[in-house]
Structure 1
Amino acid sequence: MPHLVLEYSGNVREAFDPAVVFAEIHTVLSAAGGFRPYDFKSRAVRLDTYAVGDGSREQAFVNLDIRTFAGKSPATRAAIAEAALAVLTRAFARTMSETGCDVSVQVTELDRASYARARSRDA
């Protein structure tokens, strides 16, 4: 834990490397949220079918959902969201300047009782 799901519209201007962006996000979230770097499970999803607003002009979006177990204080969750947002606004600066773009971050708390997983044995 945590799981990071980065979704972005197919019209972003940057030819970004998700691994580079995630490496920076993992670093800042480890500091802001007390996560262990090796616990992150991150993925990026480019969406080529999407609708933003009324479609009257070119619009883009970038959204990061940070899924973690409940228990972090509201202040810590806010710090996590702001730290990730700072990374994303830098990573997608060109898209933000050339399109109508929303970059957003959501910290989603998972209910530990309803979360199940299986792990391979540590070597």
Structure 2
Amino acid sequence: MAHAIVEWTANLADEADIRGLLELIAATMRDSGGVFPWGGIRVRGIRLDDYVVADGKADDAFVNITVKMGAGRSAEFKREFFGRLFEAVKAHFAELFERRYLALSLYVEEADEAGSFKHNNIHQRFRKAD
């Protein structure tokens, strides 16, 4: 399980490649060396039409990424993998970051397996490919 929720302010709609960002995150998760099973990867974007950034007086924007994953990955893996992912996110927005006020953030949360319920047959498709 690795779910990424990308929240982004609507004032980025004409400037940012959000679809490209979602694809970048999914590709990075698929390239985790098997740590994140492909059938459990979910990446979704949520456009925020109602928000206030800082003092609410400028055309400030933000992109916040929250990754939810099952427990069990080492602190070293999380530091290295998500550090690399965040660097890729920063590179994705580098040109836009130079042109406008923009806040980027990435948070990682581990799911409590006792409170996590799943029913998923997508994994089967990838097992057949082996």
Normalising by the smaller structure, the TM-score range is 0.7 to 0.9
Give 1:57's aligned amino acid.
A
Please, which runs of 5 or more residues in structure 2 have no aligned partner? 126-130
Q: Residue 42 of structure 1 aligns to a residue in which SS?
A: strand
CA deviation string 1:82-108 (max 9, x = no partner): 222122222223331222211111111
- Supply the distance in 2 between the matched residues of 1:55 and 1:99 (Cα, whole angstroms): 15
- May I ask how many residue pairs the two structures share in their alignment? 122
Q: CA deviation at 1:46?
A: 0.9
Distance 1:90 1:14, change over 3 A: farther
- The aligned residue for residue 29 of structure 1 is 29
- Supply the distance in 2 between the matched residues of 1:103 and 1:15 (Cα, whole angstroms): 13
Give 2:66's aligned amino acid.
D
TM-score by length of 1: 0.82
- The aligned residue for residue 5 of structure 2 is 5
Decide whether the 8 Å contact of 1:9 with 1:47 is kept in 2: yes
TM-score by length of 2: 0.79
- The aligned residue for residue 51 of structure 1 is 52
- Supply the distance in 1 between the matched residues of 2:52 and 2:22 (Cα, whole angstroms): 25
Give 1:54's aligned amino acid.
D
Q: CA RMSD in A?
A: 2.3
The percentage of aligned residue pairs carrying the same residue is 25
